[in-house]
Amino acid sequence: MATTVSLREVVDALDIATDEMSSYVNRSTGQVLAISHEELQLAEEDPESDMPDWQREMVAEARKVLESKDWLELPSKFDLHEWEIMDGFGRSLSKATERAEIADAIHGNGAFRNFKGTIRRLGIDEAWFAYRKRALEDIAREWLAEHGLQADEVCPASR
């Protein structure tokens, strides 16, 4: 039987993906864990270095991730292809003028900044957030299925 993993936790981990953090899923327990790259580096180095208790706990968790084959790394910020999600959102809009403005905003320099400004100006930022959440849910479901894990569908989807 496949291990069940919280879809909400995976979506949240994908949502907070940054250059400085990686998230993992334990294929045996279903636990989702986000760990900073600093903590991962400390876990590889001196385990007895002087650090606060909260950081010592996170470094211990990072060490478990590094030492066990049970932990699978979730897609990184770069694997998510945020630009494609923005493009899909633009193409999904019902008004041709909005579709055109989003298409213009995401091409050229400053695409991400231009996109954010455009959705705010058009008043469609809530629609964007709902669309992006659905896209992350789809990515999470697909990733879990590819790794033989089952999504617990208790996720407040905006479908």
pLDDT of the residue at 47: 61
**Percent with pLDDT over 90 in the chain:** 79
Measuring CA to CA, which residue among 6, 59, 69 is closest to residue 35? Answer: 59
Q: Between β-strands 71-73 and 21-26, what pairing exists: parallel, antiparallel or unpaired?
A: antiparallel
Tokens 């334990």 belong to residue: 26
The pLDDT assigned to 159 comes to: 42
CA proximity to 70, closest of 147, 9, 151, 136: 147
Q: How does pLDDT run across 44-88, given as a tens digit for each residue? A: 886 666 788 888 888 999 999 999 999 999 999 889 999 999 999
pLDDT tens, 112-133? 999 999 999 999 999 999 999 9
In this predicted model, what pLDDT tens digit does every residue of 133-150 receive, in sequence order? 999 999 999 999 999 999
Annotated domain spans of the chain = 4-77+135-152, 82-133
Exposed / middle / buried, residue 155 (Cβ in 10 Å: 0-12, 13-18, 19+): buried
Contacts with 156 (C-beta within 8 Å, 6 or more apart), sequence order? 8
Distances (CA, A) of 18 to 54, 91, 122: 21, 26, 27
In sequence order, the 6+-apart residues with CB closer than 8 A to the CB of 91 are 99
- CA 19 – CA 10 distance, rounded (Å): 17
